[in-house]
Amino acid sequence: MGYSSNENDMSIEKLINTNGYNAVIKARYGYVIFNKNDHYIGRAIEKYGEFSESEVEVFRQLCVAGDIVVEVGANIGTHTMVISQFVGAAGRVYAFEPQRIVFQTLCANMALNNIENVECFQTAVANETGHILFPDIRYDVEGNFGAVEMDKFAAGNKIPVAKLDDLLDPLRLKLIKIDVEGMEHKVISGAQQLIAKHKPFLYVENDRLDKSAALIALIQSLDYRLYWHCPPLFNPNNFAGDAENIYPHTVSINMIGVPRSNPINMMGFQEVTRADEHPMRLA
């Protein structure tokens, strides 16, 4: 079935609306399979044809053709798709997503768009090698599937977990993007050799107040400068031309890490000066 969400030239067309929880639309950066029950990524894709476009603008400035990017916590691949376009055929994106059903959607989105420069792994990334336990969860009911904390379960199916230092040895590395719901410190801890060797940019979610200070201190100890990036989820210039903001007062809280050896001028971004500071404390 197909329909247009409005009369604009850039209107959203739903190409497939299954009897289950998945649907397919033509979005800003290609065709996207998404879960209609997902509160944030799914709803944004369905309504706006994009997700967190303000983050995409940062990746657009950091990544060029031929770059290598590691994305830890790729979810269904909305950002994976666009980063793959930025780095082009000569580049590569390594995308990690441990949730089985979400991982299947990630792979489906890469296949649907004929994306050949992305490698997907159903692997959790941390500071150890082994397995974590993750139970079957219901994707057929409403939920925020991008906010599942993978290290909080005592029973379930075994999911492999490994360190980036053990998983990858690229010739070059431009960016590591990390969005893993509180496991960011573990990911960085398990990637210190990779970071020391390549000095990539880091784009790290930091929305857990109780874990923020340790995360900031760790990254700064690796000789990095940090800058806050807290963009709203709603983009008034969204692909669908939809003026309704269904995410009022909602922002993502991330940090951009820049190696001190890199002379880049981060104009317009507030530098993180102390480990105990956080935007949520200032709100």
Q: Where are the domains of the chain?
A: 51-282
What is the pLDDT at residue 9? Answer: 43
Q: Contact, 116 vs 91, CB < 8 A?
A: no
Neighbours of 226 (CB within 10 A): 23
CA atoms within 13 A on the CB side of 269: 21
Instruction: Select from 3.40.50.300, 2.130.10.10, 3.30.9.10, 3.40.50.150 the CATH code of 51-282.
Output: 3.40.50.150
Q: What is the pTM for the complete model shown?
A: 0.93
Q: Quote the DSSP letter at residue 11.
A: -
Mean pLDDT calculated for residue range 238-265: 95
What is the pLDDT at residue 281? Answer: 81
**How do residues 208-217 score in pLDDT, each as one tens digit?**
999 999 999 9
- Percent of the chain whose predicted confidence (pLDDT) is above 70: 95
| Statement: residue 14 has pLDDT above 70 | yes
**How do residues 116-137 score in pLDDT, each as one tens digit?**
999 999 999 999 999 999 888 8
| Statement: residue 114 has pLDDT above 60 | yes
Mean pLDDT score of the chain: 93
| Statement: residue 8 has pLDDT above 50 | no
Quick one: the chain helix, strand, coil %, rounded to 5?
30, 25, 45
Mean pLDDT calculated for residue range 15-27: 91
- Which has more confidence, 265 or 13? 265
| Statement: residue 47 has pLDDT above 80 | yes
Lowest mean pLDDT across 84-88, 152-156, 208-212:
152-156
At a CB cut-off of 8 Å and minimum separation 6, what does 263 contact?
A: none
| Statement: residue 72 has pLDDT above 70 | yes
Q: Contact, 240 vs 258, CB < 8 A?
A: no
* CA nearest neighbour of 270 among 220, 227, 239: 227
Lowest mean pLDDT across 69-73, 150-154, 193-197:
150-154
- Which has more confidence, 6 or 118? 118
What is the pLDDT at residue 280? Answer: 87
Mean pLDDT calculated for residue range 211-231: 97
